[in-house]
């Protein structure tokens, strides 16, 4: 597995790069597992592949604040990201890890060891619901989702380090789909920051996913094409 520590200039480029890494892996004739860390310098709202914009987003607030709304290729509900929200992505091989074809196993495979490493920094951290990480008092700080292709899996997620949490309520409606453990709590009562130095969180991620070196080439042309043809287009971002 190779490491890519790369944040691109725009929200659309950063979302597109995750997909471009997945598609490039699909086309390779050799193992192409990648672990990426990034952090958007701009605020953005990212909705799931099947999310309905009108039911999950406060579009008026997004327009007023000039916050882009992008649709990712993976599932799940809407998130808000930006400075203070660490993002990660894994490109994982089914050939090397055939057990990951089971969705439940894939979530366990990624989140259980990550929770264990983060719990060394803040005891009590564990997985809740299908794909959330929470503190000991069940406050969510990480949401995760995946996209499956024929040979590879994209697994990506968020970790709130020191994020201005008020922005979540400003841009997101109450999600139409909620895990049982949320128990109807609003965003303010449900989400929290880890309040752990970002460097320590990054180190925990790197302990979880040991890499063999830096990725020297990333798919720039494919990323640009995805931005132009997909992630900059309302026909994709607002299709539902």
Supply the pLDDT for residue 29.
Answer: 76
Give 196-214 pLDDT, tens digit per residue.
Answer: 999 999 999 999 998 999 9
Q: How far is CA 99 from CA 94, 95, 231, in A?
A: 7, 9, 31
| Residues of the chain below pLDDT 70 | none
Q: Tell me how far apart the alpha carbons of residues 146 and 74 are, in angstroms, rounded to a whole number.
A: 5
Grouping H, G, I as helix, E, B as strand and the rest as coil, residue 22 is helix
Could you read off the pLDDT of 46-83 as tens digits, one per residue?
999 988 898 899 999 999 999 999 999 998 889 999 99
At 37, list the tokens.
Answer: 């860390």
Report the pLDDT value the prediction gives residue 239, as an integer from 0 to 100: 84
CATH of the domain at 226: 3.30.930.10
Enter the pTM of the model: 0.94
Q: What pLDDT shows up at residue 147?
A: 96
Distance in angstroms (rounded) separating the CA atoms of residues 128 and 134:
7
Structural domain boundaries enclosing 184: 2-237
pLDDT of the residue at 129: 93
Task: Please compute, for residue 54, the number of CA atoms within 13 A of its CA located in the half-sphere on the CB side.
Answer: 2
- Number of domains, the chain: 1
Beta sheet of 132-134, edge-to-edge order: 2-5, 34-38, 85-93, 152-160, 140-148, 132-134, 126-128
């Amino acid at each position: 597995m190779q490491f890519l520590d790369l944040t691109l200039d725009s929200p659309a480029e950063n979302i597109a790069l995750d997909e471009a890494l997945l598609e490039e892996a699909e086309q390779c004739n050799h193992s192409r597992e990648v672990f990426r860390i990034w952090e958007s310098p701009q605020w953005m709202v990212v909705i799931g592949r099947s999310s309905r914009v009108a039911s999950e987003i406060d579009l008026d607030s997004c327009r007023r604040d000039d916050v882009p709304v992008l649709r990712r290729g993976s599932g799940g509900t809407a998130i808000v990201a930006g400075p203070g929200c660490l993002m990660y992505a894994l490109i994982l091989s089914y050939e090397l890890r055939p057990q990951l074809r089971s969705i439940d196993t894939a979530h366990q495979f990624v989140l259980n060891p990550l929770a264990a490493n983060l719990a060394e920094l803040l005891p009590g951290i564990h997985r809740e619901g299908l794909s959330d990480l929470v503190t000991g008092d069940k406050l969510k700080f990480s949401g995760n989702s995946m996209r499956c292709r024929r040979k590879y899996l994209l697994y990506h997620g968020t970790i709130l380090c020191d994020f201005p949490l008020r922005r979540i309520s400003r841009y997101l409606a109450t999600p139409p789909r909620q895990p049982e453990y949320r128990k109807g709590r609003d965003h303010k009562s449900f989400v929290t920051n880890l309040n752990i130095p970002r460097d320590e969180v990054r180190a925990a991620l790197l302990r979880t996913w040991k890499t063999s070196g830096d990725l020297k080439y990333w798919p720039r042309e494919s990323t640009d094409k995805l931005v132009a043809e997909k992630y900059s287009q309302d026909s994709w971002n607002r299709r539902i």
